[in-house]
């Protein structure tokens, strides 16, 4: 970090202040504001900017902050202090990915000023483009409110995976555009589970041929690719999967089913055997597969004996415990609700 700051000073993009701080001179970087679309003049007119007599311009931001008494600090050519908020990201990215790389992501709240300042630092030091594509994701809301510890609605993905299958969580995420806010509730996750169940159900009972790769000239595949090429519009791509599922349900065409599975694989979906997903348990208190099979056999025996009341009682018991029975010419299959 010290080396990068020294390079910025040498390039005329930064300056040490009399109080031991080092600032980036934003007006020395011609491209400042190009990511967020904000100009320096608009920032001066519309932003509340801290007035600091050590800065040449109120919009300049700190690269190295002089330590106050009692603060943690490190030695530097400008005295004891600590790095500014933005500088470490430029240094880590350069160290691990190089001075120029393809994709940089982050939350929409980081676009300005953090990523804007990261660009200024990296390009100001190295003299060339820093990143080709920037992806800024929307926030996760919980029951319509932004997730935050202060509101008491904060949880981790590990918490969610105690109640929902990981593929269901992935499906919940990819069926929305990455730049859109995502609203999390248990009911919405349950809805995602039902949606993914519809897709797996379409593949159930089909012997798929080996994959030979996706034929992108196929109309379904072409629409899927066009959606993903349009700023990763995964929600539109998922819509193509549902169209395919509808066709597979009607025709039982194994080639269409193979295409559906291969396209799902692009999004990390539909790669398990349908029976594995449809019968997977997700929590304590559920019936095991063996218990379910035993109850189905008891129901089968009751039907054979024309004991319809007992047959209905067993079906109702299974439904109450989250198990759906599906009777067909081949017998009775089941899945988790």
Q: What is the model's pTM? A: 0.78
Higher pLDDT, 138 or 220: 220
For the cut 90, the answer to whether the pLDDT of residue 34 exceeds it is: yes
In the prediction, which pLDDT does 49 show?
Answer: 53
Please give the Cα distance from 229 to 275 (Å, whole number): 32
**What mean pLDDT, rounded, does the chain reach?**
91
* CA distances, 159 to each of 6, 155, 168, 309, 310 (Å): 44, 6, 14, 41, 39
**Domain segments of the chain as ranges:** 2-137, 142-277, 289-336
Query: By three-state DSSP, how is residue 316 classified?
Result: helix
CATH assignment of 2-137?
A: 3.40.50.620
Element (H, E) at 326: strand 323-328
Identify which of 106, 79, 78 has the alpha carbon closest to the alpha carbon of residue 15: 78
Cα separation, 239 vs 263, in Å, equals 12
What CATH class has 142-277? mainly alpha
DSSP-assigned letters across all residues of 273-314: -HHHHHT---STTPPPHHHHHHHHHHHHHHHHTT-HHHHHHH
pLDDT at position 177: 93
Better-scored residue on pLDDT, 39 or 117: 117
Tens digit of each residue's pLDDT (9 = 90 or more) over 144-157 = 777 777 777 777 88
């Amino acid at each position: 970090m010290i080396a990068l700051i020294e390079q910025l000073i040498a390039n005329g993009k930064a300056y040490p202040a009399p109080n031991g701080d080092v600032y980036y001179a934003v007006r020395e970087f011609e491209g400042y504001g190009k990511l967020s679309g904000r100009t320096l003049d608009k920032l001066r007119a519309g932003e509340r900017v801290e007035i600091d007599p050590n800065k040449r311009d109120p919009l300049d931001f700190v690269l190295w902050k002089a330590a106050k008494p009692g603060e943690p600090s490190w030695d530097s050519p400008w005295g004891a202090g600590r790095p500014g908020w933005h500088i470490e990201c430029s240094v880590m990215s350069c160290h691990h990915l190089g001075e120029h790389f393809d994709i940089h992501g982050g939350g929409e709240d980081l676009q300005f000023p953090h990523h804007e300042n990261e660009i200024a630092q990296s390009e100001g030091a190295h003299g060339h483009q820093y990143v080709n594509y920037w992806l800024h994701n929307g926030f996760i809301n919980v029951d319509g409110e932004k997730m935050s510890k202060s509101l008491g609605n904060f949880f981790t993905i590990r918490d969610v995976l105690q109640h929902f299958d990981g593929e269901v969580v992935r499906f919940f995420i990819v069926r929305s555009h990455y730049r859109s806010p995502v609203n999390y509730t248990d009911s919405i996750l349950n809805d995602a589970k039902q949606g993914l169940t519809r897709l797996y159900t379409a593949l159930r009972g089909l012997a798929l041929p080996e994959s030979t790769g996706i034929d992108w000239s196929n109309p379904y595949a072409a629409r899927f690719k066009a959606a993903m090429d349009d700023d990763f519009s995964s929600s539109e791509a998922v819509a193509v999967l549902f169209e395919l599922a509808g066709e597979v349900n009607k025709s039982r065409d194994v080639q269409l089913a193979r295409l559906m599975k291969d396209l799902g694989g692009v999004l990390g979906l539909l790669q398990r055997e349908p029976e594995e997903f449809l019968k997977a348990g997700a929590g304590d208190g559920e019936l095991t597969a063996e218990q379910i099979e035993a109850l189905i056999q008891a129901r089968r025996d009751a039907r054979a004996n024309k004991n319809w009341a007992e047959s209905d009682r067993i079906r109702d018991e299974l439904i109450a415990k989250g198990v759906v029975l599906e009777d067909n010419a081949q017998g009775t299959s089941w899945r988790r609700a």
